[in-house]
Copies of this chain bind each other. A is one copy, B any other.
Amino acid sequence: MSKLISIDTHDVRFPTSRTLDGSDAVNVDPDYSAAYVTISTDTGETGHSLVFTGGRGNEIVTRAMQSYGAVLHGRDADELLNDLGAASRLLVHDSQLRWLGPEKGVAHMACGGLVNALWDLRARRAAKPLWLLLAEMPPEDIVRTVDFTHIRNVLTPEEAVEILYRAEPGKAARIDELRQHGYPAYTTAPGWLGYSDEKLVRLCREAVAEGFRMIKLKVGGELAADRRRMKLARDVVGPDVKIGIDANQRWEVDEAITWVNTLGDFDPWWIEEPTSTDDILGHRQIRRGVSPIRVATGEAVANRIVFKQLLQAEAIDVMQIDATRVAGVNENIANLLLAAKFGVPVCPHAGGVGLCELVQHFSFFDYAAVSGVIGDRMIEYVGHLHEHFVAPAVVRDGRYRAPGTAGIGAEMLPESLNTWSYPDGPGWRELDDQTTQSTKDRD
């Protein structure tokens, strides 16, 4: 027996707003940040995880992880790891904490952070990367980790087991294939709203040269600018490279339909987050109004219950799961199973710090053991901040390489944690000094 004896959190932020990396129509100045958590046992094992945020408010998520951490503290680690379904329910359905969601926002993200740290510990024990650990679990064991509360009308545990058994034939061969060839990626690097046209063109050219078959542009600022940028991008990448466009929930329903159709000349592959992700009926209407342009959403979808309805309502063509928005690995397994049931492709969201590292595991697992197909599926890739991770995501020739390091991929380098601790890490202090200096220089 080993016991969980500490749950340590760190508020880590990167000053991305100074270069406008990550800027879009709604998130105009994000400082990509991680509410980082390390859980430890009395036998010296550790599990690492993080929740991505946009900067301000990162301290609220770390506080929430401390609060939820009290639910786990002192418990038998073996028991928790042997039944991660029960562990997740302990957190998500805590009878008092539940009021704070239920199952959404800060509270749910905090649960996800802790659940993922437990999965990290379990994968380390098994000496496997998460995707392989999952791919090799028996279907019944996978399904036991899933919380079917409020999705049973659309997916029962029995159906879920069936879906997984249907993917058993050929699984070993697909795992080999993934190890050899990886999984397709698309890149958002060229398309941030804060970039100049010159930078956009240069990055589009580089993306194609690097082997990407899809890029993404942020839209929703000004229509004329979107048309100009979309034309520039299309001219550079040619007709065969897909261009996704992403409005980050900027529009009302009718506005979305008009705007997207106006960009139709440049053949966008999908429109992502055309409106509030809470608006299931709005997405359905938009999908009907912009067809054949696909509708994608998910990075801000609060939980499996909302995804369930987006699928029931035929409101999306592409499900974009996020690794740290929902209650961790378990709930994303539910999301993958729902998508498989409806035959909707999953293309994970990764625009943020650590998200590439985490979310790749779900697509690898999906191909190996859930949907069993790749087709047009791709994982988002954003090329910055990987240097802070112990095992950075690797993309070559436009494809994610199979992660080989044991765990879920969230572990950061101690030096990065230290340098970018907010607000007192040396990185932030230096920036503050520069700001002070440049203010003085102006005086």
Contact = CB atoms under 8 A, between A and B. Distances in A.
Contact of A313 (B60, B103, B281): B281
Given A60-B64, A95-B28, A279 B252 contact: no
B95 A27 contact: yes
Contacts of A29: 95-96
Tell me the number of copies of this protein: 2
A108 interface: yes
Interface in A94-111: 94-109
A26 interface: yes
A128 to B, nearest CB: 31
Contacts of A63: 59-60, 63
Interface stretch (A48-56, A200-208, A337-345, A384-392): A48-56
A153 B254 contact: yes
Given A26-B98, A95-B29, A279 B300 contact: no
Interface in A255-286: 275-276, 278-282, 285
Nearest to A29: B95
Contacts of A253: 152-153
Contacts of A109: 100
A50 to B, nearest CB: 14
Contacts of A101: 105
Interface in A398-430: none
A113 interface: no
B103 A106 contact: no
A63 B107 CA distance: 13
B96 A30 contact: yes
A279 to B, nearest CB: 6
B300 A102 contact: yes
Contact of A98 (B27, B95, B102, B281): B27
A276 B60 contact: no
B281 A280 contact: yes
Contacts of A64: 57, 60, 106
A60 B30 CA distance: 23
A311 to B, nearest CB: 10
Nearest to A65: B60
A281 B284 CA distance: 13
Contacts of A60: 60, 63-64, 67, 100, 106-107
Contact of A103 (B56, B70, B153, B278): B278
A56 B61 contact: no
> Which 4 A-B residue pairings sit nearest by Cβ, starting from the closest?
A105-B105, A106-B106, A56-B96, A54-B99
17 contacts: A26-B95, A29-B95, A30-B95, A53-B99, A54-B99, A57-B107, A59-B67, A60-B63, A104-B302, A105-B106, A105-B108, A150-B279, A152-B252, A153-B254, A278-B302, A278-B309, A279-B308
